[in-house]
Amino acid sequence: MSDALPLWISEIPGANIDSIAAGDYRIPRISTELWSSRQRMGSSLQEISYRACFKPHLPRFFISALTRQGDYVYDPFSGRGTTVIEAGLLGRRIMANDVNPLSLILTRPRFFPPSMTDIEDRLLTIDFTFSRETGIDLSMFYHPDTEAEITSLRSYLKGRKNKGEEDDIDAWIRMVATNRLTGHSCGFFSVYTLPPNQAVPPERQIAINRKRDQRPEYRDVRSLILKKSGSLLRGITREEKETLREAGECGLFLTCHAGQTPRIPDCSIALTVTSPPFLDTVQYAQDNWLRCWFNDIDASVVERGLTVTRSLERWCEVMGATLRELHRVTNDGGHVAFEVGEVRRGSLHLDEHIIPLGGNAGFTPVCILLNQQRFTKTSHIWGISNNDGGTNTNRIAIFRKDE
């Protein structure tokens, strides 16, 4: 390892080092497997699906290496909350931001997990036989009785929220139900469809049903919420629940543009671990239209707020503003781990574009880490082609704010 590299990087075993030019910078590029298969065993609380999210071992690696208990860890593109959940489990304080309001729905409840008894008791108080018209045709996804139960639950949650009565138990039920709306097994409310992080449009579901010669079967909404809750809470200790609650109570959950977060104090963040949208690879609002409906969110507003563009120039403009804001909120000696990918069939490496943007924002570029691990097939669904000899590569640009 090069003596110029920080100790935490120099101690990574089995790394291959070269250097690359990125704008006006020439920086080390380190290729290795950053975490073992055993380290890839994440908490059951992380098993909430969201498009294009990274695995929990990625933020855990950087949180463990670059922060201490009590430090603030931040993610400006929080998604399902992977970074901040890991930070909370490790005793760090947290700040999370995502312009998509679904992120808050999927993230915050896991800092305040109720008991299975509380969840079951609350579900028993909900009238699942009451329903109203959905306003849209969902018959291609759900059995009529299941659809009625979903609509009843939606009306209950909407009423509780509008009255200011939604509590941690309601929020948990909302999160789990949102995660169970569609999927490819009998653990979901719907007939067989795409994986749960991607809701197809109705006309495509009709085609899937026709091709598979399938019709929606009845699914018990209450039972499936309880089943998924038990899966999420399995193995979570009392100490972990207390640690998460402490992090959640002093945490900050925002739904702002990443380049404009005035509620975050200057020089307050020890570490940011994030992964922004990769150009137009993933259509977040389109894929989440059914989740938006269930949670009474205008999907068109979400679409307008997200950084989804085919223009590299526009993407760099938004990421530049984000990095300038990160420089403001990062404390002296703090770090940013910015995970980006290979898009357009590997012809465009976004890490080589993000390095000069970070330098222009005032950070010192440290290196690019290439974590190479066993290939995951779902990345092809996103239109990402970074499969090289059976490996999937995380490209992570590391920045430091010098004192």
- Domains, the chain, with CATH or none: 7-104+237-290+301-400 (3.40.50.150), 116-232 (no CATH)
Query: Residue 122 has which token pair?
Result: 């609350």
Specify whether the CB–CB gap between 286 and 303 falls below 8 A. Answer: yes
Q: How far apart are CA 330 and CA 273, in angstroms?
A: 12
> Tell me, what's the pLDDT at 10?
77
Asked whether 97 and 261 are in contact (CB, 8 A), the reply is: yes
Query: Amino acid letter at 251?
Result: G
Q: How far are the Cα atoms of 63, 136, 141, 175, 250 from residue 133, in angstroms, in the given order? A: 47, 8, 15, 22, 40
How crowded is the C-beta side of 10, counted as CA atoms within 13 Å? 7
Convert 95-124 to b/e letters by CB count within 10 Å (16 or more is b).
bbbbbbbbbbbbbbbbbbbbeeeebeebbe
pLDDT tens-digit series, residues 245-282:
999 999 999 999 999 999 999 999 999 999 988 765 55
pTM of the predicted structure, to 2 decimals: 0.90
Average pLDDT over residues 342-359: 79
pLDDT tens digits, 31-43? 888 765 554 457 8
Residue 383's pLDDT is what?
A: 40
| Rounded percentage of the chain residues whose pLDDT exceeds 90 | 65
pLDDT at 260: 95
